[in-house]
């Protein structure tokens, strides 16, 4: 239907300001603000009704309805002896005339945060939303946008002009929510995600929570990174996991460092070097990077080095038998040392290559190149038959892993 005729029907029943009328036709022409669109529709309707009125068509009631929300129509009616009082907008009650006034409060709330991108949200009175829905349903409007969208966009644009940066819908650093009811502003600081790799040089540092035998966690070691950005906490997301007594060497393990509630989103990305952990130079990341890293870690290829102690002497001929494990699919029940998972769960992982060297009569060094997720300690010691096949089973010996290192994460 012609938007002018549709507006004529709506205005007969509801007085609407320029913004609220124009918003009902928001998708009919881009690059035009709702107030401009509504004003143009009212002007066209005014011209049409005045033309009909002067040609003897009885449109007085439509003129009066338009006159409630259109000054030129009121002036025309007054010149013809008809008085019409201006009416408040049925939907917003006049709020949208100066909604940009909240921009200064938002800019002030963001002043203490060093951010790159922002977004504005709003809390709008429920009855205002219900009045808008009433009109949309009654007239079958399919071309509009919600009043919240308009409020957010207009305040966001005004804030952008004050701060000299545009609002962003693509995962902004900060979100400022304006309560239109009482004018308060709440700021949510989204986490800062930083991509990198870490090396763990110590056998007494745990990747996750503190466990027996560990003196600290990687997150504790990385706390200076949190401090650089003024965050409230640091969370490490890694591509796989190593035990606290396992070193992570080589090119390091892919990881995402998450800084909660930072006060700075721009800062030193040079990484960190300590005697326990080395973090490579960082770069900004996203939640999708975390998901992709986690998914890839289940299938990525890893290279391990283990030193194992045998209960009996191992000969070079014995070690040659381990070549039979290359290409094997290893089936593992959840290791007994891991109590958080179902003991009946079974995991299948591929062993691609294996090399073994004799260090002493009862000490061997084993290099295992395998699919990510293989429990390497249990692959070597057999875990009492819960892992098959295993190095211990193949050698016919009881093995204890005394050292384990991750040498590469491909």
Residues 311 and 399 in one domain: yes
Rounded distance between C-alpha atoms, residue 176 and residue 184, angstroms:
10
Among 297, 329, 360, the domain boundary falls at 297
For tokens 């951010």, the residue is: 115
Query: Is 88 contained in some domain?
Result: no
Query: Is 173 contained in some domain?
Result: yes
Q: How many CB atoms lie within 10 A of CB 220?
A: 14
- The pLDDT assigned to 341 comes to 66
- The pLDDT assigned to 254 comes to 95
Residues 228 and 177 in one domain: no
- The pLDDT assigned to 338 comes to 81
Query: Is 145 contained in some domain?
Result: yes
Cβ–Cβ under 8 Å, residues 409 and 302: yes
Residues of the chain short of pLDDT 50, as ranges, are none
Residues 174 and 267 in one domain: no
The catalytic residue positions are 243
Cβ–Cβ under 8 Å, residues 151 and 112: no
pLDDT digits (tens, 9 = 90+) for 323-368: 999 999 999 999 988 876 677 789 999 999 999 999 999 999 999 9
CATH number at residue 327: 3.30.70.3190
Rounded distance between C-alpha atoms, residue 399 and residue 378, angstroms:
10
In order, the DSSP letters of 224-256 are HHHHHTT-SEEEEEESS---TTEEEEEEEEEEE
Residues 265 and 213 in one domain: yes
Among 49, 79, 109, the domain boundary falls at 79
CATH number at residue 116: 3.30.2130.30
Residues 230 and 281 in one domain: yes
> For residue 49, how far is the Cα from the chain centroid?
52
Question: Considering just the CA atoms, what is the radius of gyration of the chain in Å?
Answer: 34
Residues 179 and 118 in one domain: yes
Query: Is 90 contained in some domain?
Result: no
Query: Is 141 contained in some domain?
Result: yes
Residues 405 and 306 in one domain: yes
Tell me the residue range of the domain where 130 lies: 98-188
Query: Is 219 contained in some domain?
Result: yes
Binding-site positions for substrate: 304, 375
Cβ–Cβ under 8 Å, residues 259 and 226: yes
Q: How many distinct structural domains can be found in the chain? A: 4
Residues 398 and 306 in one domain: yes
Query: Is 326 contained in some domain?
Result: yes
Rounded distance between C-alpha atoms, residue 149 and residue 161, angstroms:
18
Residues 39 and 52 in one domain: yes
Rounded distance between C-alpha atoms, residue 225 and residue 268, angstroms:
8
Residues 140 and 173 in one domain: yes
Query: Is 333 contained in some domain?
Result: yes
Rounded distance between C-alpha atoms, residue 122 and residue 125, angstroms:
10
List the one residue out of 199, 219, 340, 341 whose CA is nearest residue 279: 199
Residues 104 and 199 in one domain: no
User: What phi, psi does 376 have (nearest 5°)?
Assistant: -70, -40
Residues 139 and 202 in one domain: no
Give the angle subtended at the CA of 45 by the CAs of 44 and 49, to the nearest 5°.
120
Among 248, 271, 297, the domain boundary falls at 297
What's the N-to-C CA distance of the chain in angstroms?
A: 61
């Amino acid at each position: 239907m012609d938007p002018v005729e549709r507006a004529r029907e709506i205005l007969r029943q509801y007085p609407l300001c320029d913004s609220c009328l124009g918003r009902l036709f928001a998708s009919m022409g881009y690059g035009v603000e709702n107030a401009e669109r509504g004003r143009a529709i009212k002007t066209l309707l005014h011209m049409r009704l005045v033309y009909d009125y002067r040609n003897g068509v009885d449109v007085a009631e439509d003129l009066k309805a338009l006159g409630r929300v259109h000054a030129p129509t009121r002036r025309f009616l007054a010149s013809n002896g008809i008085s019409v009082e201006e009416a408040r907008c049925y939907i917003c009650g006049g709020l949208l005339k100066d909604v940009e006034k909240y921009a200064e409060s938002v800019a002030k709330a963001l002043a203490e945060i060093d951010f790159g991108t922002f977004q504005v949200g709003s809390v709008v009175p429920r009855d205002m939303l219900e009045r808008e829905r009433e009109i949309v349903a009654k007239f079958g409007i399919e071309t509009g946008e919600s009043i919240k969208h308009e409020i957010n966009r207009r305040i966001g644009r005004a804030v952008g002009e004050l701060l000299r940066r545009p609002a962003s819908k693509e995962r902004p650093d900060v979100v400022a929510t304006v309560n239109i009811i009482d004018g308060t502003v709440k700021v949510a600081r989204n986490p800062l995600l930083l991509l990198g790799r870490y090396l763990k040089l110590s056998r007494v540092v745990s990747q996750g929570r503190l466990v027996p035998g560990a003196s600290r966690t990687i997150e504790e070691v990385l706390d200076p990174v949190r401090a650089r950005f003024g965050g409230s906490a640091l969370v490490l997301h890694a591509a796989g996991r190593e035990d606290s007594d396992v070193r992570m060497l080589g090119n390091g393990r892919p990881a995402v460092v998450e800084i909660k509630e930072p006060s700075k989103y721009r800062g030193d990305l040079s990484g960190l070097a300590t005697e326990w952990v080395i973090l490579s130079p960082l770069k900004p990341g996203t939640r999708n990077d975390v998901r992709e890293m986690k998914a890839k870690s289940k299938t990525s290829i890893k290279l391990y080095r283990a030193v194992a102690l045998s209960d009996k002497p191992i000969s070079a001929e014995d070690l040659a038998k381990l070549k039979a494990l290359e290409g094997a699919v290893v089936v593992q029940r959840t290791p007994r040392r891991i109590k958080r998972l179902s003991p009946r769960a079974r995991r299948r992982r591929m062993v691609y290559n294996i090399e073994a060297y004799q260090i002493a009569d009862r000490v061997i060094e084993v290099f295992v190149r395998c699919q990510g997720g293989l429990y390497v300690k249990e692959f070597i010691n057999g875990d009492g038959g819960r892992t098959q096949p295993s190095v211990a089973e193949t050698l016919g010996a009881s093995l204890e892993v005394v050292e384990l290192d991750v040498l590469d994460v491909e």
